[in-house]
Amino acid sequence: QVQLVESGGGSVQAGGSLRLSCAVFGYTGSTYCMGWFRQAPGKEREGVAAIVAGGRTTYAVSVQGRFTLSQDGAKTTLYLQMNSLKPEDGATYYCAGAYYCGAIMRPRDFAHWGQGTQVTVSS
């Protein structure tokens, strides 16, 4: 019953910024893990940034200092502010959530997934 809907993807030039949004519906208010994953052609899906077990926010090393995860006051929308974008950031970005997850952002631990939003970064 949980549904996640992403928005905000698009095409930008290297050095530009985008803000992705993920709205979650059907959330009961229980502790919920939410995060962003991405998958580029020919590559495995990888965690980008997520709120995992214990409410800890974790980022992929490759995006630290450039991407920022945040939530609205009701914690029903997750944002990913992406600055200083690089061509290698180009991928399909997926929002994911789970009532239960571990301490690290593993795709298999997230039961609920959005449809994905495309991010393209031109050099």
* Cα–Cα separations (whole angstroms), residue 39 to 29, 36, 42, 76: 29, 10, 8, 24
Banded pLDDT at 1 (limits 50, 70, 90): confident
Measure the CA angle with vertex 81, ends 76 and 83; round to 5°. Answer: 175
State mean pLDDT over 66-93.
95
Helix (H) or strand (E) holding 71: strand 67-71
For residue 22, the number of C-alpha atoms closer than 13 Å in the C-beta half-sphere is 31
State mean pLDDT over 15-21.
98
Which residues are paired to 34 by β-bridges?
A: 51, 97
According to the model, what pLDDT value does residue 75 have?
81
Q: How many CB atoms lie within 10 A of CB 50?
A: 28
- Residue holding tokens 């290698």? 88
pLDDT digits (tens, 9 = 90+) for 20-62: 999 999 987 667 899 999 999 999 999 999 999 988 999 999 9
According to the model, what pLDDT value does residue 29 have?
67
- Residue 79, helix vs strand vs coil: strand
- How far is 83 from 10, CA to CA, in rounded Å? 13
